Each structure stands twice: as structure tokens, then as C-alpha cells.
């Protein structure tokens, strides 16, 4: 057939900062999905976008074209309103685990389509798969039934959602164009809009351990995604949260599940509880329940009840012992004073090297590997006191993990200035 446009013309257009039309973007995504536009041509176009950006209408058109490349989910058969959350990822970010059952405790359906970890950021599915018997794959009809009955599902997204984005992301990951804000925004939002939820809350992280290091760029990304959601008729808001230090006291799959259960039981680290509750408030408010009190649902056990039912519905045993690493190594304080620094990125890399993460998507992960923190910045420590414990299944992994942690923390005389966990809200 005769093609409506030429890929080289569209590459040159973005190189020269010309705004593409809706028809041009629709053709580009469709032709790329069909294989007519070659990988190297799409990579060149993505680099032009990284360097020159896109207008709001171009980003909207790209997102809609990504959605049109595949299937769309529909939750109209449910008797409940739906709300979802997306995090841009960080170190120790296990918030989805307590958040989904907490929001479901208020009668909201939470269809949480999650992914796996890559590099220093952990994946929700990897964490939950440390629970014996738990299954990530849930058929569409079974998902609807579980949402109606239990209220929450955390599962893998089907291959039919925005397949064009999956192909483009694979190219971006190998061509240095992952950081392009228009492409990040359209990638995330094409899948979330195709998912069919009526409300979405975004946890956009910034800081050393986050994908976006700079607060202003994280704010730009958040605003872009909120605009995309609103343009598509999805009630969308965002929280910008600090990922300069690890979130909570655990990094790694089974370790983070254990901590999530502690939060559901009414305990857990203060920062994990704070972010879980604030995201829950935003989610229930987005479906018209602004007076709901998520903190109370953690305290009285309602969220824990939903968690147990959710895990059981997907084949997991909520009472089964969680895996543990076969080897441990404790790092102690070399002086007395105040823990002043605890850099998130080195801790994420160290947990990855211990076996908690993967370098390639097909690599296996160790359920018991990771890091357990015994102190956070601002805490007083004494010489010889344990600062953190490394967990791994292979002793040979310890030296490289310890190498990643050199200079990752410091002890001084003065407590660091307090930093708010939530830096901004876009709603």
C-alpha cells in the first residue's frame, strides 16, 4: 500500500523543532507497530524528541496513538468506582503493597497493574512473588471477579495494552533516550489510560534514588502526566516525593513484603506509613470520598483483612513464612554520633548486586536478598552499633555490594536538616 508519510520527513521535522500533526503521529506509531518504520528510524526520532521536546498536543496525540495500538480494558461492569496509583520507582518503594488493600477497604476497586524491577529500582511483582503460591498472572474475567469481591488486584499487565509503547521503550532503553519527558509521560499514561481506571494518583519521585534527580524536572513530568490524564477524562493528580534516602527500613523483595505487612498491622516505619496514608487519601478523594480516614483503616485492621483476601485470591498463603537470604553481613558504625547521610542510589545498587534486582528483564531475582536498615538519618548511633544488614543467597555477592556502599553514609555531630517527604502536590 502507499504510505501516507515518510519516516525521514518526520525525523527531520522534530530535528528542526516543527510540531507534528495528529495524522503524522498516528501514522508514525502505526507504521512502527507494523514494522514499516525501522528501529533505527524510530530511535532517531526519539533522540530528536529528547533534544527538542514536544508540545502538549503532540504528547496527547502520541499517547492516544500508543493506546490505539492495542486493547483497552473496561470496568463498567463493576458496581464500584475504580482508582489506581502509579509510582515512578525508587529504593525501598513498597507502597503499592499496603496501599491497594487500604484503598479497597473503603469500597473502591483498585486494579493495580504492576511491573518487575530493573536495575536499582525494585518491582512490585517480584516482591509479591516471594509469597509462596502467589501468582502475578490474572485472566481478565478473574480480575473483574476479584475486584468485585475483594476490591483489589495487583497483577501483571497483559501484552495487549499499548504494544507500541513496549517496542518504543525497548529502543529508548538502548539508545540513551529514556530521559525524554514527553516519552516518559506518554509511556506511563498510555498504559494507565488503556487500563480503564476512572481515577489515577501519581507518585512522582525525585532525588538521588529516583529516575528524575531534579525536583523541577520531576514537577514538569508530573504536570505533563496530569494534563494527559485530564485530557483523556481520567481524574488525575500527583504527589512529588523525596527519594534522596531509602524509603522505609528494607530494600529487597521478601524484606519489603514483611515491612508492608507491619504497616497493615498498624506499625511500620513512619515514612512508609505517611506516604501510604497520603496516597490513599488522594485516591479515595478522587472518587468522591474526601472525608474517608485511611489511617483509621490501618489501625482497626480493615486493610489487613483485604490484604489477606487479596493474597489468597491469587493463590498465595498470607501466613506462610517468607524466604530469607542464606548469608548475612552486618555493617556497624565506626564512630559514635548522628547518622547524617544515607544515600539512596548506592543502597539500591547494593541490593541489586546482592540478588534482589536484575540487570536484564529475563534475569531471575532472589526473594530473600536485600538490605535491612537499622538506623535512618538523624538517629543517634554508637560505635559498633549495627547500621544495616546485607542479605544474600550467595556469599560471593557481598564484596561488590559492599563496594557500592563505600561513602554511602556518614556519621557526624549535627543532625541533618529535616526534609519533607512530600514536596509538592499537583491536583
Active-site option among 14, 60, 81, 86: 86
Could you tell me where in the chain the CATH 3.90.1170.30 domains are found? 327-412
Contact criterion met (CB below 8 Å) for 181 and 217: yes
CATH of domain 84-160+193-313: 3.40.1030.10
Q: Which segments within 257-404 are labelled E, that is strand? A: 327-332, 337-342, 370-373, 380-381, 386-392
Say if strands 370-373 and 422-426 run parallel, antiparallel, or are unpaired: unpaired
- Residue 11 CA, chain-centre distance (Å), reads 31
Q: What's the mean per-residue pLDDT of the chain?
A: 94
What's the pTM?
A: 0.93
pLDDT band with cut points at 50, 70 and 90 for residue 119: low
Could you tell me where in the chain the CATH 3.40.1030.10 domains are found? 84-160+193-313
Q: Rounded CA gap, 217 and 185, in Å?
A: 12
Q: Cell 496516597 sits at which residue? A: 279
Report the side by side order of strands in the sheet with 380-381.
380-381, 337-342, 409-412
- Give the number of C-alpha atoms closer than 13 A to the C-alpha of residue 90, restricted to the C-beta side: 31
Closest by CA to 184, choosing from 167, 171, 195, 169, is: 169
Class of residue 202 by CB neighbours under 10 A (exposed 0-12, middle 13-18, buried 19+): buried
Q: Is 427 helix (H, G, I), strand (E, B) or coil?
A: coil
Contact criterion met (CB below 8 Å) for 158 and 110: no
Q: What is the helix (H) or strand (E) element at residue 235, kind and residue range? A: strand 235-242
pLDDT in tens, 214-271: 999 999 999 999 999 999 999 999 999 999 999 999 999 999 999 999 999 999 999 9
Q: Rounded CA gap, 282 and 36, in Å?
A: 43
Q: What is the helix (H) or strand (E) element at residue 152, kind and residue range? A: strand 152-156
Alpha helices in 176-301 (DSSP H): 181-195, 215-231, 253-264, 270-286, 294-299
pLDDT in tens, 184-216: 999 999 999 998 999 999 999 999 988 889 999
Measured CA to CA in angstroms, residue 34 lies from 27, 144, 158, 167, 189 at distances of: 10, 31, 19, 11, 22
Q: Rounded CA gap, 411 and 341, in Å?
A: 7
How many Cβ atoms sit within 10 Å of the Cβ of residue 289?
18
What pLDDT is recorded for position 116? 76
Class of residue 139 by CB neighbours under 10 A (exposed 0-12, middle 13-18, buried 19+): exposed
- In the chain, the percentage of residues whose pLDDT exceeds 70 is 98
The pair phi, psi for residue 45, each rounded to 5°, is -65, -40
Catalytic residue list contains 187: yes
Active-site option among 60, 166, 172, 219: 172
pLDDT in tens, 375-425: 999 999 999 999 999 999 999 999 999 999 999 999 999 999 989 999 999
Q: Cell 493474597 sits at which residue? A: 311
pLDDT in tens, 146-175: 999 999 999 988 778 889 988 898 888 788
In degrees to the nearest 10, what's the CA dihedral of 416, 417, 422, 427?
-150
| CATH class for the domain made up of 327-412 | alpha beta
Q: Rounded CA gap, 203 and 54, in Å?
A: 23
Active-site option among 126, 165, 203, 271: 165
pLDDT band with cut points at 50, 70 and 90 for residue 118: low
Catalytic residue list contains 172: yes
Active-site option among 94, 116, 191, 302: 191
Residue 83 cell numbers, joined:
482508582
Active-site option among 43, 114, 186, 187: 187
Measured CA to CA in angstroms, residue 253 lies from 18, 23, 131, 280 at distances of: 45, 44, 9, 22
Q: Rounded CA gap, 53 and 59, in Å?
A: 9
Amino acid at each position: 500500500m502507499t504510505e501516507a508519510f515518510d519516516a525521514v520527513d518526520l525525523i527531520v521535522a522534530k530535528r528542526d523543532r516543527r510540531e507534528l500533526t495528529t495524522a503524522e503521529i498516528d501514522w508514525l506509531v502505526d507504521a512502527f507497530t507494523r514494522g514499516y518504520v525501522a528501529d533505527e528510524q524510530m530511535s532517531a526520532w526519539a533522540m530528536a524528541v529528547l533534544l527538542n521536546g514536544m508540545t502538549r498536543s503532540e504528547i496527547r496525540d502520541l499517547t492516544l496513538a500508543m493506546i490505539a495500538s492495542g486493547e483497552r480494558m473496561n470496568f463498567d461492569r463493576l458496581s464500584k468506582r475504580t482508582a489506581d496509583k502509579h509510582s515512578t520507582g525508587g529504593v525501598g518503594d513498597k507502597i503499592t503493597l499496603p496501599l491497594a488493600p487500604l484503598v479497597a477497604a473503603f469500597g473502591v476497586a483498585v486494579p493495580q497493574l504492576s511491573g518487575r524491577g530493573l536495575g536499582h529500582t525494585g518491582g512490585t511483582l517480584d516482591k509479591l512473588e516471594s509469597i509462596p503460591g502467589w501468582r502475578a498472572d490474572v485472566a481478565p474475567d478473574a480480575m473483574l471477579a476479584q475486584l468485585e469481591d475483594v476490591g483489589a488486584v495487583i497483577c501483571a499487565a497483559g501484552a495487549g495494552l499499548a504494544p507500541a509503547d513496549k517496542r518504543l521503550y525497548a529502543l529508548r532503553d538502548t539508545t540513551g533516550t529514556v530521559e525524554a519527558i514527553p516519552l516518559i509521560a506518554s509511556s506511563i499514561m498510555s498504559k494507565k489510560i488503556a487500563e480503564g481506571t476512572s481515577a489515577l494518583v501519581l507518585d512522582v519521585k525525585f532525588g538521588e534514588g529516583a529516575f528524575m534527580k531534579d525536583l523541577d524536572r520531576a514537577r514538569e513530568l508530573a504536570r505533563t502526566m496530569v494534563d494527559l490524564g485530564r485530557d483523556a477524562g481520567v481524574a488525575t493528580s500527583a504527589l512529588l516525593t523525596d527519594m534522596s534516602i531509602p524509603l522505609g527500613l528494607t530494600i529487597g523483595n521478601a524484606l519489603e513484603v514483611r515491612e508492608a505487612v507491619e504497616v497493615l498491622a498498624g506499625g511500620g516505619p513512619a515514612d512508609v506509613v505517611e506516604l501510604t496514608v497520603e496516597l490513599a487519601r488522594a485516591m479515595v478523594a478522587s472518587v468522591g470520598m474526601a472525608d474517608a480516614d485511611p489511617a483509621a483503616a490501618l489501625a482497626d485492621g480493615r486493610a489487613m483483612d483485604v490484604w489477606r483476601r487479596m493474597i489468597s485470591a491469587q493463590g498465595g498463603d498470607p501466613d506462610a513464612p517468607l524466604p530469607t537470604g542464606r548469608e548475612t553481613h552486618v555493617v556497624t558504625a565506626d564512630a559514635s554520633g548522628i547518622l547524617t547521610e544515607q544515600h539512596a542510589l548506592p543502597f539500591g545498587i547494593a541490593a541489586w548486586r546482592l540478588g534482589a534486582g536484575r540487570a536484564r528483564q529475563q534475569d531471575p531475582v532472589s526473594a530473600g536478598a536485600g538490605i535491612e536498615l537499622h538506623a535512618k538519618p538523624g538517629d543517634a548511633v554508637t560505635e559498633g552499633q549495627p547500621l544495616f544488614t546485607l542479605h544474600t543467597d550467595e556469599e560471593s555477592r557481598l564484596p561488590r555490594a559492599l563496594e557500592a556502599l563505600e561513602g554511602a553514609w556518614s556519621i557526624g555531630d549535627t543532625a541533618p536538616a529535616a526534609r519533607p517527604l512530600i514536596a509538592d502536590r499537583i491536583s
